[in-house]
Structure 1
Amino acid sequence: MSYSREAERGIGTAEHTHTVARKRAAACVVFTDGAGRVLLCEPTYKRVWEAPGGAVEAGESPRGAAVREVSEELGLKVEPGRLAAVDWVPPMDGRTEAMVYVFDGGRLDPELTSTIALAADELRSWRWCTIPQVHERMRPLVARRIESALAALESGVTAYLEAGHPVG
């Protein structure tokens, strides 16, 4: 590998970035209620349920995507808390690999919950779900991610996951 004079002086170039892997990115927010249940959304366009969230757009931070998606999907203007988990998802089902960032939405009180306004073109309904219900309604990988994120929030750490499984 050859380096330019700029690189030798520490200025560097971005040429090497053309050969590194490009991963999709998504962000979601885990909200809980007073009973410790998780808010799940029922999309109109697929059979499995999801946590509020979605794709990170070009030039957008994962946290910014989480804020935008919660606003678009649920009509809630909330600032998520800390990062609960990062999940590397391998290529599957015709999709490239991805990084999914899970943020703490905190506990929603009944007053704020009553203001949820679903994006009708995206979501059919929402429900508070127990962990067994999370596993019934979500794809196994995503259910593992949500359960791991909740455990990380309880323990005060940020979890690193691969396909929903804690690593390290």
Structure 2
Amino acid sequence: MAGLTDDEARFAYLAEGNAKQARKRVAADVLLRDESGRILLVNPTYKEHWDLPGGMAESNEPPRKAAERELVEELGVTITAGRLLVLDWVGAHGPWDDQLVFIFDGGTLTGDQLANVRAIDPEVSEFAMFEPEEASRRLRPDMAQRLSRAQQALSSGAVDYSEVPS
């Protein structure tokens, strides 16, 4: 590369390689409970089933920060997401490329915190607290399985990783 210093040429070479590499979609959700163990779910306006609160990471946004941001945007709840409970690689399906799905421990909300939760994002029609069995019935089957695995990870202290081919 004529006219470039060695450092500039190396940077340009690396930038070109970076531009050609695959990008992953990243979903980041939060498992939030109340003091009796019920689970907070949201009812998205653009999906058939209920879901854990969270959403898609923005470009160059860490998954944990994406989950925290989505929680504020959807429900007006500010938390510091805890440890990672579930990480899944999901293969390409339908119109979607592959993605990474993170579920973080959102902890236990107090009664005062729950009283201040509001569905403030137009993408969320409502939210509710459900017993774990009822929460699983309202989720899409793959999300119900992730919820079960997240609950097991809470107890075991381990991160549950899985690969779901297309």
Shorter chain as normaliser: what TM range? 0.7 to 0.9
1:26-45 CA-partner distances (Å, limit 9, x unpaired): 10110012222211101122
Compare 114-123 and 101-110 and name the one that shifted more: 114-123
Compare 113-122 and 56-65 and name the one that shifted more: 113-122
In the TM superposition, residue 161 of structure 1 has moved relative to its aligned partner by 2.0
Q: How does 1:40-119 map to 2 (within 5 A)?
A: 40-119=41-120
Alpha-carbon separation, structure 1, partners of 2:139 and 2:63 = 22
Compare 142-151 and 122-131 and name the one that shifted more: 122-131
Alpha-carbon separation, structure 1, partners of 2:62 and 2:126 = 27
What residue ranges of structure 2 are gaps of 5+ in the alignment?
1-5, 8-12
Alpha-carbon separation, structure 2, partners of 1:42 and 1:128 = 11
What residue ranges of structure 1 are gaps of 5+ in the alignment?
7-11, 164-168
In the TM superposition, residue 20 of structure 1 has moved relative to its aligned partner by 3.8
Give the structure-2-normalised TM-score: 0.84
Cα-Cα RMSD: 2.1
Go from structure 1 to structure 2 and tell me whether the alpha carbon gap of 1:139 and 1:98 turns closer, same or farther (over 3 Å shift): same
In the TM superposition, residue 147 of structure 1 has moved relative to its aligned partner by 1.2
Taking only the aligned residue pairs, the percentage that are identical comes to 38
Alpha-carbon separation, structure 2, partners of 1:35 and 1:102 = 21
In the TM superposition, residue 14 of structure 1 has moved relative to its aligned partner by 4.9
Alpha-carbon separation, structure 2, partners of 1:98 and 1:18 = 18
Alpha-carbon separation, structure 1, partners of 2:139 and 2:91 = 18
Aligned residue in 2 for 1:152: 153
The count of corresponding residues between Structure 1 and Structure 2 is: 156
In the TM superposition, residue 50 of structure 1 has moved relative to its aligned partner by 0.8
Q: Secondary structure at the match of 1:13?
A: helix
Aligned residue in 2 for 1:166: none
Q: Which amino acid aligns with 2:83?
A: R
Q: How does 1:116-127 map to 2 (within 5 A)?
A: 116-127=117-128
Alpha-carbon separation, structure 1, partners of 2:146 and 2:98 = 15
1:42-89 CA-partner distances (Å, limit 9, x unpaired): 112222111110000002111110111000001011111111111111
8 Å CA contact 1:145–1:161 kept in 2: the answer is no
More helix by share: 2
8 Å CA contact 1:37–1:129 kept in 2: the answer is yes
Give the structure-1-normalised TM-score: 0.83
Q: Secondary structure at the match of 1:86?
A: strand
Aligned residue in 1 for 2:163: 162
